[in-house]
Amino acid sequence: MDATVKQINELKALLREHNHNYYVLEAPTISDAEYDQLLRSLQNLENSHPELITPDSPTQRVGAAPLAQFRTVKHRVPMLSLQNAFSEEELLAFDKRIKDRLNTIDAIEYVCEPKFDGVSISLSYENGILTQAATRGDGETGENITQNAKTIGAIPLQLLGNEIPANLEVRGEVYIPQAAFEEYNRQASARGEKVFVNPRNAASGSLRQLDASITAKRPLQIFCYAIASIEGNGISMPAKQSDVLHKLKQWGFRVNSEIKVVTDISGCLAYYQAILARRNELPYEIDGVVYKVNDLEAQAALGEISRAPRWAIAHKFPAQEEITEVLDIEFQVGRTGALTPVARLKPVFVGGVTISNATLHNIEEIERKDIRVGDTVVVKRAGDVIPKVVTVLLEKRLPYTTAVKLPRHCPVCGSEIVKADSEVVARCSGGLYCKAQQRESIKHYVSKSALDIDGLGPKVIELLLDASLIKDVTDLYSLTEEAAANLERMGEKSAQNLIGSINKSKNTILARFLYGLGIREVGIAAARNLAAHFGTLDALIEADVDELQAISDIGPVVALHIATFFQQSHNLELIEKLRKLGVHWPEHSGQQLAQGALAGKSFVLTGTLATLSRDEAADKLRALGAKISSSVSAKTNYVVVGDNPGSKLVKARKLGVTILNEQELINLLGTIV
């Protein structure tokens, strides 16, 4: 048996080496036939000794039974989005913000990378063995696609080298090379099968196949670009992003060869122009370039905002444009009653995507560009994402077209449309009488950052409205399990869970409640500032515009929106009804919050908490005046550690920051409260 084990290990190591040469280095040293012979030899040995099969064996890339559905997994470290820059001015402003926050006038060193038009995934390794692959999802949670990821040859099942961390999480972008995409479509067409629209959609759909054998047939590739977390075996995070990329290559990951380190922002601009000029020559699709501050300690100091890092930005390429026809112009009604005109277009292929709708923003935009039904127009994907009408080709205008007028009445509820002279946006005056505003306000109220009512997705809300079971958010708290169970595809168990989630939402915090009210231009950050400053809802309701403007990030326009909201009797009635229905939150005076037991203390949360969710723990800490940060620094007072903590724990120990487990956090909160 010892000889068999040795033979299997030697074959695995040899196949791993050839796999790396072929998929990562793109420099094979043996023929496909020779590789297949080695793989067959390993399969024969494993078939004779199935007890010796391990998850990292090259034979285990394909072969698992199809899944019934994907499991949801929570990322140990959130997968953040990037802020975008579309001009040189925006990029220079980004560089200035970096220097201001780091309090330096010295040039910043950046790492420049192509921005791949693919699908982000996260790869987790334990002692060098791939244990989990997950999609980005909403940034906090994604889908477990481990079996599908194993079919991608460039993803190592076992890391190379001897210096391997106990736990490692790597981020990468899965894509399909342009030539492979075209060849796949050619063969699919010859077989009479459906062809893909563009490489990105093809990559995304391939990763979400429940049968991994289907994924294995797709020509997927990957570039890895970041270490999300690393710990154990005496190995810590490198000092620079460029060092991270070098380390990834040492472990066997595929890293893009176009990545470059530059010494200042002018180097970024030069890189952008160089890559843009070669865009069509690259073997993969990109929609811009990404700049990252190279120093990881500086990254940690800069932190993040609204789920986007302050230390990185995507510089997007100019959008591609096409010509098409406006078939119709419709007005949609949003949560605040805002009317948004939308052009219905004759479908046209723009930048790899078929476009049939484009935003027209507002009536003034339509009038300025003189866009009419029947016009021939130039459309583009603004930032390669949002379709918009650039201009009208007047020489192609037909004689019967007429100018578009702002409707006098709401297309949904028939209420009068009003437009203040000082605003460009027209609004439906129907308020919550308008079903469109009802629907959008309920969606907002139940969202994750607001009351966080699980199970109340858009489709369920539509069903509840159509069945006249709810008209506004107050009706949610009168909903019964019996009524919910009668909804299409609901069932008793789902109805029971829904009502339980609704009842759980009654116990909230002021910041979430304020955000859930949907006050114009009041996001979650502004809601937290308001809650921290006033402490009680009554104090906020009584505040005037001047008092509101004294709060951080509350300008004159937002202050007026807040004051106006609380001057409306129907809004106060809705709030009072919610209170009577049991919606409540702990209240403190602004002075109490400012002088709270944890005022001025900075906390970082890492890992999975068993009793509290991370959001619940953060809410409780904020209620006591604490500040919640996403990164550990010398200014951090406490790091709260749950199961499977990331690199934040390592850094906390290095900096001598006080570390609390979940029970110690609960004890701390209990002592204070």
Active site residues: 115
Query: Which residues on neighbouring strands pair with residue 355, listed in sequence order?
Result: 348
Q: Are 440 and 433 in contact (CB under 8 A)?
A: no
Q: Are 550 and 544 in contact (CB under 8 A)?
A: no
Q: Are 130 and 55 in contact (CB under 8 A)?
A: yes
Which string of DSSP letters, residue by residue, matches 352-405? TEEEEEEE--SHHHHHHHT--TT-EEEEEEETTTEEEEEEE-GGG--TT-----
E strands, 155-305, in order: 167-175, 221-231, 260-262, 286-293, 304-305
Which string of DSSP letters, residue by residue, matches 438-492? HHHHHHHHTSTTTT--TT--HHHHHHHHHTTS-SSGGGGGG--HHHHHTSTTTHH
E strands, 246-303, in order: 260-262, 286-293
> Which stretches within 20-87 are classed as H helix?
32-48
Of the candidates 70, 227, 56, 74, the one whose C-alpha atom is nearest the C-alpha of residue 150 is 56
> What is the dihedral angle through the alpha carbons of 396, 402, 406, 412, rounded to the nearest 10 degrees?
-90
Q: Are 368 and 455 in contact (CB under 8 A)?
A: no
Q: How far is CA 175 from CA 252, 503, 580, 660, in A?
A: 18, 43, 53, 41
Per 3-state DSSP, the chain is made up of helix, strand and coil in percentages (nearest 5) of 40, 20, 40
Identify the residue whose tokens are 């009554």: 538
**How far apart (Å, rounded) are the C-alpha atoms in residues 315 and 114?**
10
Q: Are 345 and 330 in contact (CB under 8 A)?
A: no
